[in-house]
Structures are given as C-alpha cells and as structure tokens.
Structure 1
Amino acid sequence: MNLPMDMIELNQSFTTKEEAIRFCGKKLFEAGCIEADYIDAMIERNDLLSVYMGNFIAIPHGTDEAKRYVKKSGICIVQVPEGVNFGTAEEPQIVTVLFGIAGVGDDHLALIQQIALYCSDVNNVVLLADALDKEEIIRQLQMA
C-alpha cells in the first residue's frame, strides 16, 4: 500500500463521527483525490451503513453514486488515540484508527479488502494506534 507521509495524521481528536469522517474527506480533497461533493457522500455512506469495521477501525468512503467525484485513488490514515464513537451511547463502537479512502473504478473495494485483512488482527490496529511517528505507520503497513 503506497502511502505518502502527508496522508497520515497522528494524535487527532474528534467529538463526533461526522467530524472524523469530514476530516478524512478534507485530507483526500487536499491531496487532489476527490471533488468536495465526495465528502458529503462519505457522511451519507455512513448514514446508510456504518463504516465502522470492528477492531477499533473505520473506513470512511463515499457512496457508489459519488464515484463521479473521485479524481484519483487515495487513502489517508488518521490516528485517534482517545477514540471517537461510531456507535451510540448505549452501544459504543470506538474507533482509534480511520482509513479514509477514495477509489477510481473498483479500487475502493481492493483498498477495503487490504485494510480489512490487515486489521482483522487487532494487534496490527494497536500498533497503528500506538505509533509515535508517521514512519512507524508506514513500516507497519509495508510489512503487511
């Protein structure tokens, strides 16, 4: 997984899942991966079906209809050490690592599969969540 250093954010904090998703969208927008309308589609996608994947990760991405707003495939990783709740107060789903993605064609499916496979081992998620620098995150993902 090719990941530029500027697409990794450490030690972020969010009050809501929408704020976290919009942050990922902004990273993808600033990198030239998407048009601004894709960010709202990322929120819509989570409203339709949660992007929480278990094991403390979420993979914010847009709806199928929003593919027209994707200029090039991209991914960002956002570390949230204190976590952000993607569930409810009664049934919290705490996320400590967000993988924001946008994919041309079926690239988003391949990205989701890669991330899900890597993060199916919760120890890998812990390594990402506890990483002290961006290089450490890149090293962990290159070993995957």
Structure 2
Amino acid sequence: MRDDLLDPRAVLLHESAPDREAAVRRCGRALADVGAVAEPYVEAMLERERSLSTYVGEGVAIPHGTNASKGDVLRDAICVVRFPGGVDWDGEHVTLCVGIAAKDNGHVPLLAALAEILLDPDRARALREATEVSDVIKELTA
C-alpha cells in the first residue's frame, strides 16, 4: 500500500465507542482532522454504513463514504482506529476500523491492498493488537 495514504496522526489505537455509529464518526473525524475529507464526508460514511455494513470479518470494519460523497474527498487517505474494548457492529465484535477516503476509483486498489493484508491471519492479528503507531504503519506499508 502506498505509504503516503496513512498520516501517522490518523492512527488512533486506544479509542472507545458506545456503538457502531460513534465508531464510524470517529473514523470520519480522523480523516477530516488530517485534511483528507471535508466535513460532509463523515455523514456520508454513516449513510453508507446504514445501507450496507462495512464489517469484513476477523473483527475488522472498513467504513467509507458513498459514491455521491467523492466530491468531499480532498485526497486519498486511510485512517486506522483501534477500539480495544470492541464495538458491537450489528452483532459482530469489531476492534479495528480502517476508514477509507478515495477520489474517483481510488478505493478499488485501496480495498484490494487492505484485503490482501487482512486475509493474512498474522498481519490481521498484528494490526488488531498494535499498540504503537509505528507498528501499524510498518504493517500497512510492508
């Protein structure tokens, strides 16, 4: 995965959220805080989540906006938000969210790269259990 997609300030490893909506908001906020998206993108992430769960298995969700929200993406980026206590994701237990912001069709290679990482049990576990920002960056840019 391109190493310019992940700003270290968008790696939050000790978060908590009472529910899925709050977790998605936290991801959107992380992307907005590093200048990757405009404010409306956060609501578009929630809209996407309400229409189709972004849970992908192994305790991981990949929240992202709707196709209509691509104009609110300022630059391609991801955030990694870890919820050590877990979040109920419509009956699933999520501890790691990887939020995506991508212009045009930029989400396709991003999702493919993430899938490759998350399908490797050792790498997925390393991400879920990471406590240092440098570990997350190493795992995602290896």
Alignment map for 1:44-59 (pairs within 5 Å)? 44-59=47-62
Same amino acid, percent of matched pairs: 34
Runs of 4+ in structure 1 over 6 Å off? none
Question: Could you tell me how far apart the structure 1 residues matched to 2:124 and 2:96 are?
Answer: 7
SS in 2 for 1:8: strand
- Gaps (5+ residues) in structure 1? none
Question: Could you tell me how far apart the structure 1 residues matched to 2:123 and 2:87 are?
Answer: 19
TM-score under structure 1 normalisation?
Answer: 0.91
SS in 2 for 1:60: coil
SS in 1 for 2:87: strand
The alpha carbon displacement at 1:4 in A equals: 2.2
Moved more, 132-141 or 62-71: 132-141
Q: Is the 8 A contact 2:24 2:45 kept in 1?
A: yes
Name the residue aligned to 1:123: 122
Name the residue aligned to 2:35: 32
Q: Write the deviation string for residues 97-138 of structure 1: whole angstroms up to 9, x where unpaired.
A: 110110011111211111112101233221112112111111
TM-score under structure 2 normalisation?
Answer: 0.92
Q: Is the 8 A contact 1:7 1:75 kept in 2?
A: yes
SS in 2 for 1:5: strand
Name the residue aligned to 2:20: 17
SS in 2 for 1:101: strand
Higher strand share: 2
CA-based RMSD: 1.1
Name the residue aligned to 2:98: 99
Q: Is the 8 A contact 1:56 1:125 kept in 2?
A: no
Name the residue aligned to 1:76: 79
Q: Write the deviation string for residues 80-107 of structure 1: whole angstroms up to 9, x where unpaired.
A: 11211111xxxx2111111011001111
Question: Could you tell me how far apart the structure 2 residues matched to 1:108 and 1:99 are?
Answer: 12
